[in-house]
Structure 1
Amino acid sequence: MAYAKITLTLIFCLTMILTSVESVYAQTDFPKDQIDHFIRSKMEENHIPGLAVAITRDDKVIFSRGYGKTADQSPISGDTPFAIASLSKSFTALAVMQLAESGRVDLDKPIAHYIPSFQLNDPRGMTITVRQLLSHTSGLTDTVYPDMTIHPQPDSLEEVVQRLHEVTLHSEPGSEFHYNNTNYQLLARLVEVVSKEKFPDYLQRHIFTPLEMKRTFHVSNTKQLIEKSSTISGGHYFLFGKPIATEEPEWFVEGAAGMVSTINDMAKWLIIQGNSGKYNNVQLLSSEGIRTMHSPTGPKESYGLGWEISKTADGKKQIEHGGILWTYQAQELVIPDQKLGIVILFNSGLNTFVDYYSFVSGLSGILTNSPPENSLFTHTMLESGMCSIILITVLLGIRRLWRLKKWEEQYKKRPSWLTFLSFILMLLPLFLLLFLPKMITFFGGERVLSLEGIFMMMPSIIIGLAIASFQNLVIVIARVIRICQIRIQSRGSQNQTINRTTTEGQFMG
C-alpha cells in the first residue's frame, strides 16, 4: 500500500512537472511560420531577389534560412556568401579593441602616434585620437575627402594615408559626428602597423578563426568581388522595381566595407555581442570591452564604437548597424538585455524606394511581441507612381508642343514676367538633375556619391527627371524661337507702318 501511494505521488509530481514544461514551451514557442510569412511578404512587396536571415538567442542560432535566388539563379542558403558592406566596421572596431586590451593601443592617443606617415594639411589632424576615429568624430567628412568618387581609387591602406596629406578637416576633432569610411580605413592601417599583420590576415587569425567563420573573408576593393565570382554571386539594383543583376562599381573598401560573409557565420558574430564577447568558451574581447563598444561616445548619443545605438518600442537598448553597397545591403540588430540578435543579408542594393530596415525591425517586433506595422507605401506602389508620373509628363509635353499656336495667342495677352516665370518653372527638372549630387550631399549627412551610384540608387527618379528636363528644354526652346519670330514680325510691321506713314507724309507735302 505504501509503495502504491509513493508511486501515485511520483506520477502526480511527474505529471505536474511535464505540464509546467509544456506550458513554458508553449509560451516561448518560436514563431517560425509568422517569421517566414513576414519575410516572404516583404520580399514580394519590395521585389527582393534574394536574402538570408539568421536569428540568435543566448548562445544559440534559433533560425537560419535563405530565400530567393542568387544572380546566377542558385537557391540561397545559410551558407550563401554576401558582401556585408559597412557591417565590416564593427569587426574593424573589435580588432582595435583587442589591441587596446592587450596594451598595444591607447584609444585616447593620437593616431599619428601609431602611424608616423599620417599627416593632414591641417595642424588639428595631429590631435585626432583612435577613439575619435572609432566614433566618427575625427573631423573627416566626404566633403573634404570624397572616398567614393576619387579616381583612381587607392590600391592600399597606406596610399589612403598618403592621399590625406592634402586634406583640411571639416571640424574640430571630437566636436561633431560625421559618418565617414576613411576613419575606418585609418583604423585598419593602425591594426596593420601595430600587429605587423596584413589587415585581412589579422581578421582571419584573431576573429574569423576563433568564431569558426569559415566562409568569411575580406577584400580591399569591390572589383575583387568580380574576381571572386566563383565564391560570391553578383548583386542587383532596381530598375522600375525590377532587380537587374550587375557588377558593383569600383570602390576601395578595406577596413570600412570590405567583408564577405554568410548568415550562418554572421550569427556567430551576433552571439558574442549578447554573450559578453564569448563564443564556445573563447573570449574574443572582455565583457567591459563589449560594453564600451555598445555605449555612446562623443557628441552623438546614438553611436558607440562601430555600432549605432537606439531603443526598442518598449524602451530597451538595442545596437545595430546597416551595410550599404550599390548591389548589396545588410542589416544587423542586437538587443543585449534579451541576448537576441538578428542579421539579414540582401543581394540587392541601395534604393530610394526600399526600406531595408523595416525587415529587421519587423522581425524584432515579432520576437518581442510588438507586431510590425504595415508599410504605408510599398516599393511596388512607389515605382508604379513614378511610371505614372513619367507617362503623364511625356503626354503633357506632347500636348504642349501640339498646342504651340494656342500658347502663342495666350503669350500675346500675358505680361512678359509671367512668361519668364513659366520658363523657369519648366526648367526646374533640369536644375534638379544637374544639382542632385550636391543636394544629396547637403541632405544626406554630407555623403558624396558617384554619379553611377546615384543612378543605381534612384534610376526611375533619374530617368523621370531626364525625360522631363529634355522635353521641357525642347518646349522652352521652341517657345523662345516663336517669341523671337513674333518680335521680328512685330518690328517688321512697325517698320512698314513707319515707312508707309513717312511716304504718305511726303506725298501730302
Structure 2
Amino acid sequence: MRYYKYKIDRHNYIKISLILFCCLTLFNIFVEGAFAQAGFPEDEIDRYIQLKMEKNNIPGLAVAITRNDQIIFSKGYGKTADQSPISTDTPFAIASLSKSFTALAVMQLVEAGRLDLDRPITQYIPSFKLNDTRGSAITARQLLNHTSGITDTVYPDMTVNPQPDSLEDVVQRLHAVTLHSDPGKEFHYNNTNYQLLAWIVEVVSKEKFPDYLQRHIFKPLEMNSTLDVSNTNQFDYGSLPKGHYLLFGKPIATAEPEWFVEGAAGMVSTVNDMAKWLIVQQNNGKYRHAQLLSPEGISSMHSPTGPSNSYGLGWEIPKTEDGKKQIQHGGILWTYKAEELLLPEQGLGIVILFNSGLNAFVDYYSFISGISGILTNHPPEASLLSITMMEIGMGIIIMITVFLGIRRFLRLKKWEENSKHRAQWQIILYLILNLFPLYVFLALPNILTFIGGGRVLRLEGIFLMMPSIIIWLAIASVQSLVIVILHVTRILRLKRIEKATVQG
C-alpha cells in the first residue's frame, strides 16, 4: 500500500512540475513580448513617417520591419488613388526590388547544378549575339553584378520604341549592340542585364519566368499577393491602384508609362509579402520550413563583387561611415517607388513601398534611413526643406521668368535703337546667349544621363520626375526663342529700310 501511495505522489509531482514548467515558459514569453513591445518605438516611427509624408506630399505608403525571422512592425499610411485606406495588404509596384528575386532564381539553379555563373551565357542561350566579339565572353555573374559591358548608352531600354514584347525579343534586339566596355571591367547599372538573366532562368528551368517565380519563390514564401508582369501596361488597375506623380507638389494619379520590365522591375507585391522576403535574407535563406537557398548562397548574394565593390548579386552593399555592413536596394518607376534595407548586425530588415514615383525634390531613401536610425538609436535629423517649399520656389522662379519675358518684349523698340550702335558680332553673341534656356531644354536628357551615371531616360519620364522644372524650362525656352525671332525680324527689317534708303 505504501508503494502504491508513493507512485501516486510521484505522478502528481511530475504533473505539477510539468504544469509549473509550462506556466513559467508562458510567463517568460509574455514578459519578453511585453518588454519587446514596450521597447519598440512604434509611436516615434509613426510620427516620423507621418511628418515625412506631410513634408513631401506623399499620398500613401506601407512599411514593414523584421527582426531575424519575425515581423515586428507592419502598417499602411495614407490613401490609394481611389481614396481607399492603405493597408499592409495593399499592392504596390516594387520596380527594381524585383532584381533580387531574379538573382535568387539564378542562384537556385546554380545550387541545383544546372547553371554555372562563370560560364559564357552563350552556352545557355545560343541565340545571344552582339555586334561585338567580346559579347561571347559575358557570364551570368557579370549580368548579376552589372559588369557585362551593356549600358543604357549602347542599349537604352527605357527609350526603345516600340518596347520589346518578350524576353526573346530583347535578345534579338541586342544583335546590333556594341559593348561599352570589356565584360567584367566596369560597373554600369543596367536593366537589360536582368532581362537576360530572366531569359536564362526560362531556358534552363524550362518554365516561364513568372511561373518559375511562383513555384519556387512566391509559393514557398507564402507570398500570396505577389505577382510578376513583363510590361507595365499589364498592370491591372482594378486590383493595383494607380500610382502618382507630383505636379507642383500635388499628387496626380496616372497610369505608368509603357516599359518592358521582365526580370528587372516587373513585380507587384505588398509589405506583408515583402516582409517574408526580408526574413529569408536574414535567416540564412530559410522561411519557416522552406529552405530557398543555402546560407552560403545568401552570403554570396550579399557580398560585394566586381570592380565597383558596392554591388553584390541583386543587392547594393554601400560603404557606410561607421563601417557597419548595410545591404539595400531601391526601386524606381514614374508612379511608384520602393526601398528595402537590411542591417545584418542587428538582424533588422525594413521595406517601404510608396504609391508616388521618382521626383527631383523627394528623397525617398531618407524615409528608410530615418527609420533605421530610430531603431539603432541614431535619431534622424529634421530636414529644413520640404517639397512644398521647393515647389513654391519653382513657382516664384516661373513667375519671375514670365515677368522678365514680358519686360523684354516691351523693351524691343529700345533694344532696336541701341543695337544701331553695337557691332554685328555683339548682336549675334547676344542672340546666341539668349537661347541658352532652349539649349538646356533640348540637352536635358543628355545632361541627366551624364549626372545620373549613364542612365538614359525617356522624355515622358523626365517630365513626370520634374514637371515644375520642365514647365519652367519650356516657358523660358519659348520666351527666348520668340524674343530672338522678333530681334532678328527687326534687324532684317532695318537692313531692308537702310538698303532701300541708300538705293533711293
Q: Is the 8 A contact 2:310 2:319 kept in 1?
A: no
2:280 corresponds in structure 1 to: 272
The percentage of counterpart residues that share the same residue type is 71
CA positional deviation for 1:491: 3.9
8 A Cα contact 1:237 1:327, kept in partner:
yes
After the TM superposition, which segments of 4 or more aligned residues of structure 1 sit over 6 Å from their partners?
21-24
Q: Hey, what does 1:5 align to over in structure 2?
A: none
Which moves more between the two structures, 124-133 or 156-165? 156-165
Deviates more, 1:107-116 or 1:485-494: 485-494
- Choose from 46, 51, 61 the match for 1:41: 51
Aligned runs of 1:270-419 on 2, under 5 Å?
270-419=278-427
CA distance in 2, matches of 1:375, 1:141: 35
* Residue identity matched to 1:263: V
CA contact (8 A) 2:92 2:240 kept: yes
2-structure distance, mates of 1:418, 1:374: 50
Give the counterpart of 1:179 among 189, 196, 219. Answer: 189
Match of 1:489 in 2: 497
The letter of the residue matching 1:244 is I
Alpha-carbon distance, 1:23 to partner: 13
Q: What displacement does 1:423 show?
A: 1.7
Q: Distance in 1 between matches of 2:274 and 2:303?
A: 21
Is the 2:285–2:292 Cα contact (8 Å) retained in structure 1? yes
Task: Please report the RMSD computed on the Cα atoms of aligned residues, expressed in angstroms.
Answer: 1.9
Secondary structure in 1 matching 2:401: helix
Match of 2:142 among 117, 120, 132: 132
Is this contact kept in 2: 1:55–1:340, CA < 8 A?
yes
Indicate the residue corresponding to 2:121 in structure 1.
111
Task: Find the aligned partners of 2:33 and 2:104 in 1 and give their Cα distance.
Answer: 40
CA contact (8 A) 2:60 2:78 kept: yes
Does the C-alpha gap of structure 1 residues 288 and 197 become closer, same or farther in structure 2, counting only changes over 3 Å?
A: same
Matches within 5 A, 1:63-74: 63-74=73-84
Q: SS where residue 413 of structure 1 aligns?
A: coil
SS at match of 1:304: coil
Residue 311 of structure 1: how far off its partner (Å):
4.2
Q: Deviations over 1:333-361 (max 9, x none)?
A: 00111110110001111111111111111
Q: Distance in 1 between matches of 2:32 and 2:233?
A: 53
**Could you tell me which amino acid in structure 1 is paired with residue 462 of structure 2?**
I
Matched, 1:231 2:239: yes
Deviation at 1:313, TM superposition (A): 4.8
Give the secondary-structure state (helix, strand or coil) at the position aligned to 2:159.
coil
Q: Which deviates more, 270-279 or 401-410?
A: 401-410
AA matched with 1:161: V
Tell me the distance in 1 between the aligned counterparts of 2:101 and 2:433.
Answer: 49
Shift of 1:257: 0.4
* Cα deviation, residue 462, structure 1: 1.1
SS of 2:317's partner is strand
- The answer as to 2:253 corresponding to 1:245 is yes
What is the alpha-carbon distance in structure 1 between the residues aligned to residue 423 and residue 33 of structure 2? 81
Superimposed CA distance per residue, residues 114-139 of structure 1 (whole angstroms, 9 cap, x where no aligned partner):
11211111111110001000000000
Q: Which runs of 5+ in 2 are unaligned?
A: 1-23
Q: 1:273, 1:336 within 8 Å by CA — same for their partners in 2? A: no
| Equivalent AA in structure 2 for residue 30 of structure 1 | F
- Name 1:121's counterpart in structure 2: 131
Query: Does residue 163 of structure 1 match 2:163?
Result: no
Higher mean C-alpha deviation, range 248-257 or range 443-452: 443-452
Contact 2:93 2:266 in 1 (8 A): yes
AA partner of residue 155 (structure 1)? D
* Residues 207-237 of structure 1, C-alpha deviations (whole Å, 9 max, x = no match): 1111111100000110110xx2222111111
The number of equivalent residue pairs is 477
Three-state SS of the structure 2 residue aligned to 1:179 is: coil
Does residue 438 (structure 1) correspond to residue 438 (structure 2)? The answer is: no
Aligned-partner residue type, residue 443 of structure 2? F
> What SS does structure 2 have at the residue aligned with 1:204?
helix
CA distance, structure 1, for counterparts of residue 202 and residue 36 of structure 2: 51
Alignment map for 1:55-66 (pairs within 5 Å): 55-66=65-76
Residues 4-45 of structure 1: per-residue CA shift (max 9 Å, x gap)? xxxxxxxxxx9xx99xx7899389711111111111111111
